Structure 1
Amino acid sequence: MRSRRDPSASDFWDGGWLRTPISRSIGGVHVGVPEAQLRGDELGEFVNELRELHRWLTGTVRLGSLVDWLDLTIAGDGSGRLAVEGTVSATTRPSCRAWSPSSTR
């Protein structure tokens, strides 16, 4: 997170937006959305779900954004292995597939 989108906003909707640049590199391909914005409640829910995945090592967690900047899914198989898949999009250029198919860690 870089900063709040509107530091003076105090309501839930305007005050919840965070400037969150997104970048991902695989091999020689780099995808970045430097002006992406996610909501604090989206990130908070994702962190809570990640904690549960870490605890049980099984299940699926997803971070989706209200305006489709990012769609990230992490699935645990119970043995500590994770499959990660996601899409990064920008409103100023066509959607681009950042990393797929699922990779195992």
Structure 2
Amino acid sequence: MENERSAVYDGESRLVGNVIKENGTQNVLMETEEGTTYRIPMEKLTRHDTHWVLNDPVDHFPAVPSEQEMQARVDDMSADSFPASDPPSFTPGKPDIER
């Protein structure tokens, strides 16, 4: 299944989303029509010739954050950590102790 987007249905034959990537033998990345990507363990899916069937509701699985969400997290963490350290206690070019 290279670069093929296989449909994923629930137990009642309703379209849930499409497989966008198989991560080895452990997980599948599935994207819903709304654009949310979920990481689904392989044991929670049944593979058929033309599609997959998801055995549990999709909201039981973790959503994978989008690139924008990950960048927002990085920006928040960077803002929270600024300044990263205290400024130096001396000024270059001046003696540390005045006499």
Question: TM-score when scaled to structure 1?
Answer: 0.25
Which is higher, the Rg of structure 1 or of structure 2? Answer: 2
Higher strand share goes to which structure? 1
